Amino acid sequence: MPIPVVTSGQMREWEQATWVAGQTEAAVIHQVGKRLARRARKLTRAGDTILFLAGKGHNGDDARSAAKQLEGRRAELFEVLLPDTDLPTLEFKLAEKPALIVDGLFGLGLNRPLSEDWQKIINTINATGIPVLAVDVPSGLNADTGAHFGAVINASVTLTIGAPKAGLLTPAGTDAAGRLEVADDVGLIPCPFKSDLNVILPEDFNHYPADRSVTSHKGTFGHVVVIAGSLGYHGAAVLAARGALRAQPGLVTVLIQPDIYLPVAAQLSSAMVKIWSPNYNPPDNINALLAGPGLADPALSADVRMSIRRLWRINKQPLVVDASGLDMLAPEPFVKDALRVLTPHPGEAARLLRCGTETVQADRPGSLREISRRYGGCWVVLKGHQTLIGRSEGEIYLNPTGNPWLAQGGSGDVLAGFIAGLLAQPALQADPGKAIRYAVWQHGAAADRLQATRSNWTIEDLASEIGNVR
């Protein structure tokens, strides 16, 4: 199950309920230490030195536990208790260039500005450029607001305990936390709280999609149509089609402009490629459509825009609108009970809302809800770091997978195609929200796998890897 975002007060209540249920703090600290040690190993190489910095509180206990459980690496534990006198020793240890620093200095208990000496400690750590694995929250961060108490650790990865804290998802908190990961299996009782904002976990997709029946055929898994590509932007049509194919629907058809038929058809062997007419009306045997990738040629006729708007208003099949297609829409309703999905990045979201990108980023959940409200209550995939999935009402889901190397042209085309390819499958249409969340999670997880194995991967590699992460 996706896990809710909690406040520091709720986290304390959750912990107290766990102790009342019979679990011990020592057992949970041991499990947290085990998770930290495992993550630290993945961030380093055999024989590397990892510097564990432990403060007085429970974050320090977690760091101490992790140092004891570390295998295959050299663990060096340094307890920072008196910042004025401990700074020279810390500087000496940092000068030895550990491969990783584990930050266990401060946690949820910090509620006042840091002294000048503590600020010097944190700024000295940040100045080294050494990767930091933060325990629960980066030291110096307000777990509820994302503000900092004079200085804050700039973490590469934050392994938050139990559930994400609200402050980690604010713009400032996101910058400090780096990659946010959740250690949800540390011995706490099930989370007793609910939230409108929830984080996707890998186990949400155990046995999903379900195994296929041996008597299945192409018609069982649907037919998706991709309306994409224009002169100078034919690659978007190819990448969107490849994304759709990786979702493994029964059939994929790509409808394109006449002047790019040859380069698109030459690159696709298992998709049908046909010329698109603005008067296109999807027959009943089409199960989903994608419109927009690569429709960026200024010479495209006004009929193209009107055709996309008509499909949005009256077409009964699921429709995903991405990229240039987003600028062709108007805020208007669509046919009752139809499935609609918009997939804007922050700049496109700003155009949909007629505001600045900084306004979108300042309140990403609120921006998502407003886009959905203006466009008939549709699903919205607000892309970027920690992509959000949701609608004007109900739960919003945050995706923790992915990395900055997704910032390459064509990445969104692959994702849009993969979403449409899933939504074309009748068995997955019963829970479209889950299909969309799975697509976004797979997109990021595929990028993470590629980055872990090679540093020069391209979007063509992503189009081959998406859907392959289990």
pLDDT in tens, 221-266: 999 999 999 999 999 999 999 999 999 999 999 999 999 999 999 9
With DSSP H G I counted as helix, E B as strand and the rest as coil, what are the percentages for the chain, rounded to 5?
A: 45, 15, 40
The answer to whether the beta carbons of residues 320 and 420 sit under 8 Å apart is: yes
- What SS3 class is residue 72? coil
Residues 222 and 148 grouped into a single domain: no
Q: If you average pLDDT over every residue of the chain, what do you get?
A: 96
Residues 273 and 224 grouped into a single domain: yes
The answer to whether the beta carbons of residues 328 and 262 sit under 8 Å apart is: no
CB neighbour class for 294 (10 Å; exposed up to 12, middle 13-18, buried from 19) = buried
Residues 310 and 444 grouped into a single domain: yes
Q: What is the pLDDT of residue 276?
A: 93
DSSP 78-138: EE---HHHHHHHHHHHHHT--SEEEEES--TT--SPPPHHHHHHHHHHHHH---EEEESS-
Contact residues for 124 (Cβ-Cβ < 8 A; gap 6+): 87, 90, 91, 94
| pLDDT classification of 127: cutoffs 50, 70, 90 | very high
68-94 per-residue burial string, b: 16 or more CB within 10 A, e: under 16: ebbeebebebbbbeebeebbeebeebb
Locate 21 and state its tokens. Answer: 């249920």
Residues 156 and 242 grouped into a single domain: no
If you average pLDDT over residues 321-326, what whole number do you get?
A: 98
Residues 459 and 350 grouped into a single domain: yes
| pLDDT classification of 278: cutoffs 50, 70, 90 | confident
- The number of beta carbons lying within 10 Å of the beta carbon of residue 194 is 9
Residue 29 half-sphere exposure toward CB, CA atoms < 13 A? 16
Contact residues for 55 (Cβ-Cβ < 8 A; gap 6+): 79, 80, 81, 104, 105, 106, 139
Question: What CATH number is given to the structural domain containing 381?
Answer: 3.40.1190.20
pLDDT surpassing 80 at residue 92? yes
Residues 134 and 263 grouped into a single domain: no
pLDDT surpassing 90 at residue 11? yes
Q: How far apart are CA 416 and CA 343, in angstroms?
A: 7
Residues 72 and 177 grouped into a single domain: yes
Radius of gyration, alpha carbons of the chain: 24
Locate 207 and state its tokens. Answer: 């046995």
| CA 289 remoteness from chain centre | 24
pLDDT surpassing 80 at residue 281? yes
If you average pLDDT over residues 48-56, what whole number do you get?
A: 97
Assess if residue 205 is contained within a domain. Answer: no
Q: What is the pLDDT of residue 258?
A: 95
C-alpha triplet 424, 321, 417: angle, nearest 5°: 50
**Do strands 340-342 and 251-256 pair parallel, antiparallel, or not at all (unpaired)?**
unpaired
Helix (H) or strand (E) holding 199: strand 197-199
Assess if residue 444 is contained within a domain. Answer: yes
C-alpha triplet 52, 54, 56: angle, nearest 5°: 175
The answer to whether the beta carbons of residues 380 and 403 sit under 8 Å apart is: no
Indicate the number of domains in the chain: 2
Instruction: Determine if the peptide bond prior to 4 is cis (ω within 30°).
Output: no
Assess if residue 197 is contained within a domain. Answer: no
SS (H, E, C) 278-300: CCCCCCCCCCEEEECCCCCCCCC
Assess if residue 300 is contained within a domain. Answer: yes
Question: Token match 């190397």: residue?
Answer: 405
Assess if residue 211 is contained within a domain. Answer: no
Residues 177 and 293 grouped into a single domain: no
Residues 142 and 51 grouped into a single domain: yes
The fraction of the chain above a pLDDT of 70, given in percent, is 100
Helix (H) or strand (E) holding 34: helix 25-42
pLDDT tens per residue, range 57-90 = 999 999 999 999 999 999 999 999 999 999 999 9
If you average pLDDT over residues 374-393, what whole number do you get?
A: 97
Q: What is the pLDDT of residue 1?
A: 73
If you average pLDDT over residues 141-165, what whole number do you get?
A: 96
Q: How far apart are CA 441 and CA 209, in angstroms?
A: 13
C-alpha triplet 238, 421, 419: angle, nearest 5°: 90
| pLDDT classification of 135: cutoffs 50, 70, 90 | very high
Residues 261 and 156 grouped into a single domain: no
Locate 395 and state its tokens. Answer: 């739960």
The answer to whether the beta carbons of residues 414 and 443 sit under 8 Å apart is: yes
Assess if residue 445 is contained within a domain. Answer: yes
Assess if residue 116 is contained within a domain. Answer: yes
pLDDT tens per residue, range 405-438 = 999 999 999 999 999 999 999 999 999 999 999 9
144-175 per-residue burial string, b: 16 or more CB within 10 A, e: under 16: bebebbebbbbbebbbbbbbbbbbbbbebbbe
Residues 241 and 312 grouped into a single domain: yes
The fraction of the chain above a pLDDT of 90, given in percent, is 97
Assess if residue 203 is contained within a domain. Answer: no
Q: What is the pLDDT of residue 301?
A: 85
Question: What CATH number is given to the structural domain containing 125?
Answer: 3.40.50.10260
Q: What is the pLDDT of residue 242?
A: 98
Q: How far apart are CA 458 and CA 462, in angstroms?
A: 7
Q: What is the pLDDT of residue 279?
A: 86
Domain range holding 175?
Answer: 3-192
Q: What is the pLDDT of residue 178?
A: 95
Range with lowest mean pLDDT among 133-137, 167-171, 437-441? 167-171
Residues 240 and 164 grouped into a single domain: no
